[in-house]
Structure 1
């Protein structure tokens, strides 16, 4: 058994950024699809809305999520990954690290 005493803050942050961007992209695609679906339903007359049929500010916001959600996910991942690694290093230096089994 090996003991993980320290996690690289930069490497943990990079990994968390990558995960956050991927999850943000998936969320942005889902949000955009939902916004487009609502616009199609309003345009077809199946759903009533105070907005005009077709492309509206809500549509622009939904498609803006394709860019915004990955950015928000990346920034959140950066902060969470760096903070998590820093806290782990702080606690592990006082009480010991996690024991892991590594095969060579």
Structure 2
């Protein structure tokens, strides 16, 4: 059975992307903060710990909002992504 995604939820997708990017940024933040703390720049390490996840989440949310809006505009004119589904036996 073929299905087509004709519209995506902008707010939900942006929220999900932001949450994912916060999680993705955590290992990066910890490494950067450790390097800065070891080099005697503890103040900058604190800024990195706070700012990086916030910036990553904001950029991801904005990018997803714009991308989702563009998808909806284009999908309304030419149709959305098409995929095929199949029933699968449990277990």
TM-score range, shorter chain: 0.7 to 0.9
> Can you list the C-alpha shifts for 1:29-57, whole angstroms capped at 9, x where unaligned?
12101112323xxxxxxxxxxxxxxxxxx
> Can you list the C-alpha shifts for 1:3-62, whole angstroms capped at 9, x where unaligned?
1111111111111111121123222112101112323xxxxxxxxxxxxxxxxxx32112
Structure 1 stretches (4+) deviating beyond 6 angstroms?
none
Q: Would you say how many aligned residue pairs link Structure 1 and Structure 2?
A: 86
Q: Which structure 2 residue ranges, 5 or more long, are not aligned? A: none
Give the secondary-structure state (helix, strand or coil) at the position aligned to 2:4.
strand
Relative to the length of structure 2, the TM-score reads 0.82
Q: 2:3 & 2:76 partners in 1: Cα distance? A: 15
Contact 1:15 1:81 in 2 (8 A): no
Q: 1:92 & 1:63 partners in 2: Cα distance? A: 43
Bigger Cα Rg? 1
Give the secondary-structure state (helix, strand or coil) at the position aligned to 2:39.
helix
What is the root-mean-square deviation in Å for CA atoms of aligned residues? 1.5
